[in-house]
A and B are shown apart, each in its own frame.
Chain A
């Protein structure tokens, strides 16, 4: 399949910092990426789709139940904390294969997927970026959504109307982030800019779908 990334790795977001490059300050996110193990290959014949299952993170053997132990034994790896499927071509990987941070190089572009910070039940200003009304000068319209539709026709609210509700806590991908530095000794990848999710959360780094296209792709070479 053409939409499959060539490489991907699981990691943990450690947090953000800044680096001085010449006289400019660059914001970076530090990700503890890998080492990952290929634990299963999903094939068209058996599973109906193609993907690669990756495992990441050490865990005590006593914390793993019997079915999972068998799964890890089959893959020939030690017990792993997190398993995640990534759309990679299973023909290019072997079960038990180790994936390290050095599959990414400085200057490359990556898409980083994570689960964004939950914001709870939020109003339309926070959740959808509505402008809201004036805070003072006699205004009584502050953060309300305003009109949500017409009157007798259609006498209902259309589906998809932006209303208050649960915000955040959803799977979000930050596309086309520059790999700023790779420290393969300590399994660290520094990505320029912010990445979805809180510190300590799981993130998936994939080769950017936009790399090799347009301006961003040119900068890579």
Chain B
């Protein structure tokens, strides 16, 4: 094992669920907030739920992108998979897709923008 992989290995999270592009996930992130005049930092957790359209990179540098429609506008957010900001990743449903990067979904609206649900065998 080379030294870089070894350094990265110490950063890896062990409790990441198995998920693929096409799955719907809910990502819980913790953000620090500084409210106006007070100097105290407040931690707040936020969740972002949507379709995983991409997983990219390897080791500590792996990222994934979640897409959702918010108030009629498509919103995509890319997270570093092993970031300590991410508190939880929950797989809501598994999708049945034929490609690794679901960029085609950006051009689709309404019914066409759906992903088939995986049939449990």
Contact = CB atoms under 8 A, between A and B. Distances in A.
A25 B85 CA distance: 11
Interface residues of A, number: 14
B11 interface: yes
Nearest to B30: A23
Contacts, number: 36
Nearest to B83: A20
Interface string A175-211: 0000000000010101000000000000000000000
Nearest to B86: A23
Given A23-B85, A32-B3, A186-B3, A17 B8 contact: yes
Interface string A1-43: 0000000000000110111101101000010100000000000
B101 interface: no
Interface residues on B, range: 10 to 19
B16 interface: no
A23 B61 contact: no
B2 interface: yes
B26 interface: no
A190 B7 contact: yes
Given A14-B3, A23-B83, 18 more contacts: A14-B2, A17-B4, A17-B8, A17-B59, A17-B60, A17-B61, A18-B61, A19-B7, A19-B11, A20-B82, A20-B83, A22-B84, A25-B80, A30-B4, A30-B7, A186-B3, A188-B3, A188-B7
